[in-house]
Chain A
Amino acid sequence: NAGVTQTPKFQVLKTGQSMTLQCAQDMNHEYMSWYRQDPGMGLRLIHYSVGAGITDQGEVPNGYNVSRSTTEDFPLRLLSAAPSQTSVYFCASSPRGQTLNTGELFFGEGSRLTVL
Chain B
Amino acid sequence: GENVEQHPSTLSVQEGDSAVIKCTYSDSASNYFPWYKQELGKRPQLIIDIRSNVGEKKDQRIAVTLNKTAKHFSLHITETQPEDSAVYFCAASIGGSYIPTFGRGTSLIVHP
Binds A, one of B39-47, B54-62, B64-72, B76-84: B39-47
Q: For this complex, into which size category does the number of interface residues on chain B fall?
A: 20 to 34
Contact A44 B102 (CB under 8 A): yes
Contact B9 A100 (CB under 8 A): no
Q: Mark B17-38, 1 if CB is under 8 A from A, else 0.
A: 0000000000000001010100
Known interface pairs A103-B32, A104-B34; A42-B102 also in contact (CB < 8 Å): yes
Contact B1 A105 (CB under 8 A): no
Contact of A42 among B45, B98, B104 (CB under 8 A): B104
Known interface pairs A48-B99, A104-B34, A104-B49; A42-B105 also in contact (CB < 8 Å): yes
Contact A90 B43 (CB under 8 A): yes
Nearest A-chain residue to B100, judged by Cβ: A105
Q: Which residues of B contact A107 (CB under 8 A)?
A: 43-45
Residues of B within 8 A of A (CB): 1, 6, 9, 32, 34, 36, 42-46, 49, 89, 96-105
Known: A43-B89, A103-B98, A107-B43. 13 other contacts (CB 8 A): A42-B102, A42-B103, A42-B104, A43-B44, A44-B102, A59-B1, A90-B43, A102-B99, A103-B49, A104-B46, A104-B49, A105-B36, A108-B43
Residues of A within 8 A of B (CB): 31, 33, 35, 40-45, 48, 59, 90, 94, 100-105, 107-110
